[in-house]
Structure 1
Amino acid sequence: MIRRLAASLLGLCLVLSLVGCAAPSRAPFDPAAQAGHWSGRMSVRVEATAGQGPQAFSSTFELQGGPAQGQLYFYTPLGSTAAAISWTPEQAQLQSGSQTQSFNNMAELIDRVLGTPVPVAALFAWLAGDHLSLDGWQVDQSQFDSGKITARRISPAPSAEIRVVLEP
């Protein structure tokens, strides 16, 4: 009986590993279809500062809206909501689990959570395919047609990196 159970579990693990390795073909990325709504995978890394250790996270996300008003959802690997951010010109809120934190604006929320500012308006421009130049940031949109964007802040310290892979 134990052998049969072990064999069944081994078979299930093998099937799941094969399914996990299968990569569906990716449809071409269409930036025009994204207007005001983006989803995909995002990773953010911020180097350590004197008052805070390094910050890093990676998650699937869904983003709706624009720099002035919108919603951003981060999901766990199992698909449940890990965190939700909503913002208007008057305030921003971060909800994670049963906790809700309020901030004066989106810039303050990002600065508190990551320990460094991120240019929200520029990020939306980069997501839309605009080649917006910003002092202190290097943006790689060379793979934008595949839905990939990388933005690195080189100054001021701490350095930061945002990587986005958009779904078609």
Structure 2
Amino acid sequence: MRAAALLLAVALAGCAQLPKAPPADTTEARLGGRISVTVAGDQHNRGTGGAASFELFGGPDAGRLELTSPLGTLVARATWAPGLVTLTTPDGERRFDTLDALTRELLGEAVPVAALFDWLRARPWPAAPHEKTANGFEQLGWRIEPKPPALVATRLAAPVVTLRAKLDGGDESTP
């Protein structure tokens, strides 16, 4: 398992930061708050993880995710459109074919960012089947427990990945 967790890098980034992006289109959906990701370890590897503030703009087909360190510096920006995903950090720019490829490279495990837009709004992603549970639902191999304005998403396969998010002020526009 790779331990190159982006969120851990965010926590350790110190003074390195990116320039601010142009203001978002006011018609663009925005979700923001705090997020943490933990990848469980095993007998051979120590777990990884970290926390950051986030702003998520757009939608599954085209959008932008910005991560800010606990000190308030913008340290990572992912942008995507069909066929191209770009990650910009203080170390430069990298390109990926999909959002899953980006999260797999950075965290060692894929996190379904496309579904996250709906999960953060306490609803299943309409592009995949789901099953209701006592505290939420299961989808794409993840157990989703929405507790607005918070969310806990746990990948059920090993290694266990836990994503926790708490929204600030909620959705600033209607999707």
Give the TM-score normalised by structure 2. Answer: 0.67
Q: Which residue of the partner structure matches residue 137 of structure 1?
A: 142
Unaligned runs of 5+ in 2: 1-27, 131-138, 170-175
Q: Which of 61, 73, 77 does residue 80 from structure 1 map onto? A: 73
C-alpha distance after superposition, 1:30-77 (max 9, x if no partner): xxxxx8211100000112379965320100111101111111111122
Q: Which residue of the partner structure matches residue 117 of structure 2?
A: 124
CA 51–120 in structure 1, closer or farther in 2 if over 3 Å, else same? farther
Unaligned runs of 5+ in 1: 1-34
Contact 1:88–1:105 at 8 Å: present in 2 too? no
C-alpha distance after superposition, 1:125-150 (max 9, x if no partner): 11122145314211111x21xx1000
Q: Which residue of the partner structure matches residue 153 of structure 1?
A: 155
Higher helix share: 1
Q: Which of 31, 43, 47 does residue 38 from structure 1 map onto? A: 31
Q: Percent identity?
A: 32
Residues in 1 aligned to 2:97 and 2:107: alpha-carbon distance in whole angstroms: 16
**Secondary structure of 1:122's partner?**
helix
Higher strand share: 2
Residues in 2 aligned to 1:65 and 1:79: alpha-carbon distance in whole angstroms: 22
Residues in 1 aligned to 2:71 and 2:140: alpha-carbon distance in whole angstroms: 38
Amino acid in structure 2 at the alignment position of 1:162: L
Q: Look at both structures and tell me which one has the larger radius of gyration over its CA atoms.
A: 1
Residues in 1 aligned to 2:117 and 2:156: alpha-carbon distance in whole angstroms: 19
Q: Please list every run of at least 4 consecutive aligned residues from structure 1 whose deviation after the TM superposition is greater than 3 angstroms.
A: 48-53
Q: Which residue of the partner structure matches residue 18 of structure 1?
A: none
Residues in 2 aligned to 1:70 and 1:101: alpha-carbon distance in whole angstroms: 16
Residues in 1 aligned to 2:83 and 2:124: alpha-carbon distance in whole angstroms: 28
Amino acid in structure 2 at the alignment position of 1:125: D
Residues in 2 aligned to 1:91 and 1:51: alpha-carbon distance in whole angstroms: 34
> How many equivalent residue pairs?
130
Residues in 2 aligned to 1:93 and 1:154: alpha-carbon distance in whole angstroms: 28
Residues in 1 aligned to 2:113 and 2:41: alpha-carbon distance in whole angstroms: 21
Q: Which residue of the partner structure matches residue 167 of structure 2?
A: 166
Counterparts in 2 of 1:4-23, with a 5 A limit? Answer: none
